[in-house]
Structure 1
């Protein structure tokens, strides 16, 4: 018995057709876009939908059509739109070939500006690309059909496909690759829908390593859905531990899995605890972990970081009293105040006690006596011999110390001034970009009132508020395996095309060039760019006025290390490079860093930049960073406001976490855009239309406030009450209010993700912020 001549997938039963194709439809089949009598050949489909449109738009349309065909093959839903000589398979095979060829054509254009010499190697990837694409789609479809994964859709950083990719990279290519590649996975997902063709196009371009990409394709081709689900559920540290974290973990293991790790604030104590959890899961398979602390806020933070950094499928917005289950491992969180009352009721394979110095108190130390094999205490400092001796009896000796002085010396806690400049994007395709923006506005006006289709996807709404709502509905439709009307697909592809243009664009370089000219005269400056053309343009302009200008990228003939050594010996000048920090190049110290590579620089990159900037005399080094937005003439509020504010929020969170100041330099037009964006967020929030933010998922104020201890909320209320009602609180003032409320000095690190949104929702007004804190106080 052969394959069905129509679908080319199921076994033929009736006249060469399978039972589903013979019926044409069955109870679970949904209608395709085209009626059965109007099916198109590949050439007809290509002429109608793929020709005379931008490449990205065509690729997106073909990707959707191929996904529908895969839905049909797997579930028997959606009658395909293409057919040739009575066969679906023949038509879709042609579409697959077109799709693969077009994907790599765009990819080569995308990487041409950064590493032109590597382009020809991508031909090897193209040979097996469609097998990989079908494999990853199958895994995706099986996961979104599983209720276990479906319940977490829409929650930030809990996407099974992203977790699967990160863990596959980590387990097969080692921890030395994961830091950049995990960032690349997140960056691609912040722009395009995870699993889509555009997502993989961006991921491939960012990774740009033929050997690893080829291996990744082969690995995923061989991975079945059950194996993929097990990979996702397995606890695995998704960050590269720093040297001191590895040293701390090894010292604890050498002591038989008992002892205290004393590490300065913001040097990553939590990750050492997570390394112990990963080790338990790897060596034992199942078991119980109990994490204790004296504060609910600390436990809520532990729960979120456990989910995020171990790549677990769980809801980070739930309270600490909700355990996490993963592959037989159970992770519990509790307070010392609860456990010490009945310690005999608790047992674990691994006990982790954060801020363990509190456990030396006469009552709390009872909590440390629970039945457990391994014990780890974590603290920034344990003061006094009596306290040390008590904890030594209960937990073990101090097995590792990492002081603040050592952390600063090693560059783990970099100290620098972070100056941010908002500028407009330099968009080469200005005319096309303007036309796309206008088409999006006009088509959205029609679709936002498409009540029948909106309700079919959301089950609730019959009206879309803005483009962000529309994008959320697209994701829901994909997870629910629903086809979209043609005008929805057109709007989707227009948004993708616009994002693609923005993402390939760079900040206008005039500001950076003028700043570099001014600073390079008597300072050593390192300039990070996104492409070779930008490197050469900046170098050309600087060379007109500056002597020591050095460029490093893959097109230069001179040895890269020779140029770096020359820069190192120079007293002043500029070193300019594309993707320098991604390539593991040994960058010399400098006083000033200027980053124009992208507005979505991740925390690890900022930390690495911080490590190469060195203090001169009594002055802190300075890091200049550009946040670029579309020109007001092409600005789409519904699309660009969220992205703009999300960038600013990320900056504020990072500054607080690193214990540095971020100073935003705004020109008047951009300041007005920011104020308008903040008003839009406030309006949606107080209308109960909770915004879905790229960095946080569905934003829930109460979850952010849970990070603050009760006394910190009270401290904030007291300080806000003393501020004049007419005063608009600045970012710096708010950052310091939050620091003081948590008993931190101005340059002390504090991890409070999302805290900046409280300022925005309160319109920067002390009285309104007070009302919010009182109303939502937990």
Structure 2
């Protein structure tokens, strides 16, 4: 009989018949214990292989007590039910891609209720840790305790929410305690360290949630190995009108001032001339990293990199963008508006000029939460933020977004658009403004993210 045990982040295999599993590419001999080992995430495949090969198995891997009575008051929307069914038909493994505001948390709650197994939810930020803990406590708190790992608390319960950092640091300790792991914002799992949160876990059921799955570095392929492939995907366009607000995107181009144009052209020329002389073509993130690497030893490369940064600051923070912003704010005096920028200094400039509450990463969690709560209550009708609201924060409903500056990331743009897509009671359309400095590299940045 083959015996499977969880041990040191792996599945240890011993007993009669072990040699019939040793041919698997991921099974390695362990002379220390005179057994064989496989990565913990391969546990479901090992168990299935034993069954397919007619091997009797003593399974000691999971230490998961039954969790009964998990029910939810949510009624899944049609697309949420389709997503859950697709995930279940794929063996309770895989990634669901849905736009921001479409209720990915509700889908996960439905999965937890369906499986009634101890569940670990992994999230990227403390803000999301708080939100998920509150959600699970409200839905399932009468049936079981809800633990949390992160934000100063280390408590494991049958339902537990953990940050990626905590799940990674305690991966071996958590590895056989849960039958289901939910990875919120699953694209984070592509990071080298965070992968252990999935690699060292034996949980047979895995659900990844994200609005944008593919990573520029291609590491989403690793996520498919650890969690499963994309099993269901709907875009904002698919859900607009029926489940999300209909929306429009308006692009407004503004000229640089003569002074800004002079500074921009001068620094941009320094950058492009270096690229031409060094035979570097910026076609991918790895090409840019090569330039960064060279800047450590090549003064010309460092000069070019600093020039590029200065040119970017000029076009992203163009003065006439604030004139356009003033017009937009006047036009939408009765609307709920979120202004996004790429630079914290500009956030504080806008906050001072227009008396808008700022939200930045420099602020404490309690202060950010207080501003968002007042925005939710209607005490504030507008806020301005740098990247801190792009992901991992429960942002109150708004119907107008203004992107004054940002990266070429499709993920960032999708997250920002999603902040205004929750349907309103009056059925009104959402609106996103892109304000772009004309005749600059920002035009290419805007095309790339769209």
Structure-2-length-normalised TM-score = 0.41
Q: Which has the higher contact order (CA 8 A, sep 6+)?
A: 2
Structure label with greater radius of gyration: 1
Compare the two structures and name the one with the higher helix fraction: 1
**Alignment TM-score, normalising by the size of structure 1:** 0.26
Q: Which has the higher strand share?
A: 2
